[in-house]
Amino acid sequence: MTRTPPAELIRCPWHGIDDPLYAAYHDTEWGVPHADDQRLFEKLILESFQAGLSWLTILKKRENFRAAFHQFDAEKIASFGPRDIERLMADTGIIRNRAKIQAAVSSAQAYLKLKQNGSLAAMLWDEIGGGPVINRFARHGDVPPVTEGSRRLSKALKSRGFKFVGPTTMYAFMQATGMVNDHLVTCHRHGPCAILQRAFKVPSV
């Protein structure tokens, strides 16, 4: 008996989504809410490196970033000096942008200061209104590049010393971490992510 192959999954029509690595990221990570400080810190740093580039570029280099930045150990990054900066500038496995590398050091220092009196997760979720926003966009062109929530989050992070956290970068961060659900309603991940978002327990400040 000939088996009928399963219907192809419908995904958000991102440029490059046919790449297996990108498709797996879309299907397992993007839009899933969580409250893990370490993961959120790593995502903040990676999003800051993504500014002006495609996320697929960062995704392909993510393991290299993890190795170069000591698995995003904030204490180690915060102590980076000139020799570390030059080491990273010579590392072809990451994005060699001096301003972004120095920004990562500043953001690590800001993160450690914030952690003295609370958690990054609680601060982030509080700034965006206390819970996920489940959008129902039908077309990719309807998804905004920036929102009032991302502007507010950007301002709050900048005031605490974080760098390369502009409103557009922060909206991409919010989408990736499930603070908003911007999977299109036709995408196979919209419903599952919405279920996770409705059940998500927002961390208290």
- Catalytically active residues are 25, 47, 55
pLDDT of residue 77: 98
pLDDT > 90: what percent of the chain?
92
The answer to whether residue 4 scores a pLDDT higher than 50 is: no
In angstroms, the first-to-last Cα distance of the chain is 59
As a whole number, mean pLDDT of residues 80-85 equals: 98
Torsion of CA 23, 24, 26, 30, to 10 degrees: -160
In angstroms, the Cα distances linking 33 to 44, 100, 139, 179 are 14, 26, 22, 6
pLDDT of residue 8: 79
- Write out pLDDT tens, residues 108-150: 999 999 999 999 999 999 998 879 999 999 999 999 999 999 9
Positive or negative torsion for Cα 197, 55, 169, 64: positive
pLDDT > 70: what percent of the chain?
97
pLDDT of residue 1: 46
Q: In the 8-state DSSP scheme, what is residue 204?
A: P
The answer to whether residue 6 scores a pLDDT higher than 90 is: no
88-97 in b/e form (b: 16+ CB < 10 A) is beebeebbeb
As a whole number, mean pLDDT of residues 86-93 equals: 98
pLDDT of residue 204: 83
Average pLDDT, whole number, for the chain?
95
Of 19-28, 32-41, 126-135, 170-179, the poorest mean pLDDT is in: 126-135
Helix (H, G, I), strand (E, B) or coil at 134: strand
- Short-list 153, 155, 160, 205, CA closest to 176: 153
Torsion of CA 180, 185, 186, 190, to 10 degrees: 50
Confidence grade of residue 156 (pLDDT, cut at 50, 70, 90):
very high
Q: Which CATH superfamily is domain 32-199 in?
A: Hypothetical protein; domain 2 (1.10.340.30)
Domain boundaries of the chain, sorted by first residue: 32-199
- Short-list 74, 76, 79, 78, CA closest to 120: 74
Separation of alpha carbons 16 and 34, rounded Å: 26
Q: In the 8-state DSSP scheme, what is residue 30?
A: T
